[in-house]
Amino acid sequence: MKPGPRAYGLFTSCIMTLFLFSSNSFAADIDCLKCHRKLTTGSVVHAAVSMGCTTCHTAIDAKTVPHKKSGAAARGLSAEQPDLCYGCHAKAAFEKKGVHAALAMGCTSCHNPHSSNTAKLLLSEAPGLCFTCHDKALFSKKTIHAPVAGGMCLTCHVPHASDEVALLANSPYELCLTCHGGIADKPHAVSGFSAASHPLGPKKMSKRKSKRDLSSGTTNTIMDPARSGREFYCGSCHEPHSTDSPRLFRFNAKSTMSLCGNCHKM
Ligand code: HEC
Ligand code: HEC
Ligand code: HEC
Ligand code: HEC
Ligand code: HEC
Ligand code: HEC
Ligand code: HEC
Ligand code: HEC
Ligand code: HEC
């Protein structure tokens, strides 16, 4: 039987981890669960636990209580997080352009290393998990975007790392269009004004840019005039989470009219 490359990678790194970590023998024959049974009673148990407690806790002498520790790492662990976890979980998945600052606070700020009653060994489910660090008030203003009200943080965001801004699961414009596909097909934002249509994101701009900017080799994006360094897209006019304004308008704009002046001298 030949395992696929991904499975093989995990398998190999687990074996290596076991090899590296199993040099301690003093704790191997002790039944840790005799005293620590509660740690593994969650409905989801970490597969690493079946490889033995001392796979991770190499530096615990369980014959003594309180345990003597032969290493510098807390809890008799073999290595500090996140390196301990990268022993079996490919590091590359956690090292994209944008990395969640939460990772630096430890993988166990979101995961239980042993077992949990929540899928993926999470300490709790989103959005509650997210609100342990992010101020809930910012997501609870007068007008709440439907997917935010539904707690669907992970429909738009990935938890670890992403090549897109703000840990997004997709490029910002495409992300909005996955649920609002119709918006790009008809004039938007300028009904009642003289212009036939308003640019909404990179796709519409590509035509204009290619006419004007052939020499400069620009991409098919334009920049947001109100937020330096950010690309212009739906989120330049609308907040993604919640606002005190109608239509999720940015700039605290209370009407369509008061929105325009934040980018145009009118
Ligand atoms: C995948 C690695 C890993 C395995 C396998 C593992 N642990 Fe842990 N354990 C940890 C980490 C990481 C912490 C520190 C958690 C923290 O600081 O939030 C920890 C903490 C602990 C603690 C301190 C109390 C607590 O709940 O945080 C005890 C006790 C413990 N482990 C016992 C065990 C026992 C017994 C086993 C086997 C059933 C085991 N561990 C298997 C990684 C592991
Ligand atoms: C006879 C009961 C008993 C057994 C067996 C036992 N432990 Fe413990 N363990 C305890 C007690 C009591 C504590 C809390 C006191 C302490 O911190 O040492 C503890 C604490 C720990 C801690 C937390 C240490 C810290 O720094 O906070 C870890 C990790 C741990 N045990 C791992 C293990 C592992 C791994 C095994 C099996 C190899 C094991 N224990 C076997 C009773 C036991
Ligand atoms: C000794 C190897 C090993 C170590 C060390 C290890 N894991 Fe795992 N982990 C596994 C295996 C095997 C699986 C099951 C296969 C998979 O989902 O990739 C797994 C699965 C998981 C899952 C998914 C659980 C699920 O139900 O889908 C999470 C979350 C996880 N590990 C977190 C961690 C964290 C956090 C650490 C560091 C504290 C860590 N792991 C360290 C081997 C390990
Ligand atoms: C901010 C909270 C948070 C932190 C910190 C975090 N994770 Fe996760 N992790 C999650 C969430 C949420 C999921 C579930 C994703 C889903 O179901 O879409 C997850 C899923 C996983 C999985 C299952 C496979 C996958 O990618 O879906 C593994 C393995 C994992 N995390 C390992 C880690 C490791 C290792 C670290 C530390 C380097 C870590 N996590 C830090 C929130 C976190
Ligand atoms: C353990 C604390 C912690 C948890 C839990 C946590 N975060 Fe974060 N998150 C942070 C910190 C710290 C930052 C960086 C400062 C900031 O932007 O608030 C951050 C930043 C972010 C960013 C902005 C990233 C960027 O590059 O602009 C997003 C998006 C995010 N978190 C989403 C989530 C989601 C979704 C969840 C729940 C699945 C979550 N966070 C859970 C601590 C956490
Ligand atoms: C409909 C998609 C969507 C949902 C659902 C969503 N977000 Fe976001 N989030 C975004 C977008 C888009 C940005 C980037 C906005 C920008 O600056 O252009 C963002 C930015 C962020 C940031 C960076 C700071 C900020 O406010 O700009 C954090 C933190 C964050 N989101 C956390 C969360 C949490 C927690 C949840 C769940 C309660 C959540 N998000 C739900 C789309 C979403
Ligand atoms: C997971 C699906 C989903 C995604 C992704 C999504 N939306 Fe929505 N959005 C909805 C739903 C559902 C509604 C409520 C029904 C409606 O008005 O169409 C809504 C409503 C809105 C409204 C009207 C709010 C009001 O009170 O009138 C705006 C504006 C909006 N979304 C902007 C965005 C922007 C900007 C993005 C990208 C950052 C985005 N949406 C991504 C599902 C989504
Ligand atoms: C230049 C600013 C601007 C941009 C960019 C923009 N919008 Fe809007 N949007 C508006 C204005 C103004 C309204 C209110 C129109 C009205 O009430 O007649 C609106 C209304 C909406 C509504 C609610 C009413 C409706 O038409 O369904 C949704 C949903 C929405 N926008 C989504 C999006 C999405 C998705 C994008 C990106 C593809 C986007 N918007 C880009 C300004 C903008
Ligand atoms: C977040 C910033 C922003 C807001 C708010 C905004 N615009 Fe624009 N607007 C732009 C950008 C960027 C362009 C494209 C400029 C370019 O071609 O380089 C544009 C272009 C235009 C054009 C020219 C369209 C064309 O076909 O060439 C008109 C007219 C216009 N906007 C009207 C409005 C009106 C009316 C509002 C209020 C409903 C508004 N804008 C709100 C950023 C904004």
Q: Is 102 in the pocket of ligand 3 (CB under 6 A)?
A: no
Does residue 26 or residue 79 have the better pLDDT? 79
What does the alpha-carbon distance between residue 180 and residue 191 come to, in Å, rounded to a whole number?
Answer: 18
| pLDDT per residue as tens digits for the range 127-159 | 999 999 999 999 999 999 999 999 999 999 999
Taking the model in full, what pTM does it have?
0.93
β pairing state of 44-45 and 115-116 = antiparallel
- Rounded average pLDDT over 107-122: 98
Its sign, for the CA torsion 112, 114, 115, 121, is positive
Of ligand 5's atoms, which has the minimum distance to the CA of residue 168? Answer: 29
Nearest in space to 13 (alpha carbons), one of 55, 76, 45: 55
Cα atoms found within 13 Å of the Cα of residue 83, Cβ hemisphere only: 6
C-alpha of residue 92 to centroid of ligand 1, in Å: 24
Q: What is the mean pLDDT of residues 171-198?
A: 86
Give me the residue label for tokens 């098919």: 220
Average pLDDT for residues 251-264, to the nearest whole number? 96
SS3 category, 69: strand
**Contact between residue 160 and residue 82 where contact means Cβ atoms under 8 Å apart:** no
Comparing 72 with 212, which gets the higher pLDDT?
72
Name the nearest CA neighbour of 235 among 141, 142, 171. Answer: 171
CA separation for the pair 167, 240 (Å, rounded): 13
pLDDT at 220: 77
Going from the Cα of 11 to the center of ligand 7, the distance in angstroms, rounded, reads 42
Question: Residues with Cβ within 6 A of ligand 2?
Answer: 27, 30, 32, 34-36, 53-54, 57, 60, 62, 65-67, 75-76
CA of 261 to the centre of ligand 6 (A): 25
Which ligand 7 atom is nearest residue 176's CA? Answer: 37
Query: In which band, very low, low, confident or very high, does the pLDDT at 10 lie, cut at 50, 70 and 90?
Result: very low
Burial class (CB in 10 A: 0-12, 13-18, 19+), 43: exposed
Residue nearest atom 25 in ligand 3 by C-alpha distance: 120
Distance 77 CA to ligand 3 centre (A): 15
pLDDT at 262 over 80: yes
Structure tokens belonging to residue 101: 């600052």
Does position 242 have pLDDT exceeding 90, yes or no? Answer: yes
80: CA distance to ligand 2 center in Å?
Answer: 18
Cα of 1 vs its chain's centroid, Å: 35
Banded model confidence at residue 195, pLDDT cuts 50, 70, 90: low
Residue 203's pLDDT is 56
Q: Which residue's CA is minimally distant from atom 18 of ligand 1?
A: 108
The residue whose C-alpha atom lies closest to atom 12 belonging to ligand 4 is 159
Which one, of 129, 108, 135, lies nearest residue 46 by Cα? 108
Domain ranges of the chain: 5-121, 128-260
Q: What does residue 45 show for φ and ψ, rounded to 5 degrees?
A: -110, 135
- pLDDT of 7 reads 40
Q: Which of 50-54, 198-202, 208-212, 232-236 has the lowest mean pLDDT?
A: 208-212
What digits encode the pLDDT tens for the residues 50-88? 999 999 999 999 999 999 999 999 999 999 999 999 999
Q: Using CA positions, which residue lies closest to atom 19 of ligand 6?
A: 166
Give the C-alpha separation, 129 to 151, whole Å: 10
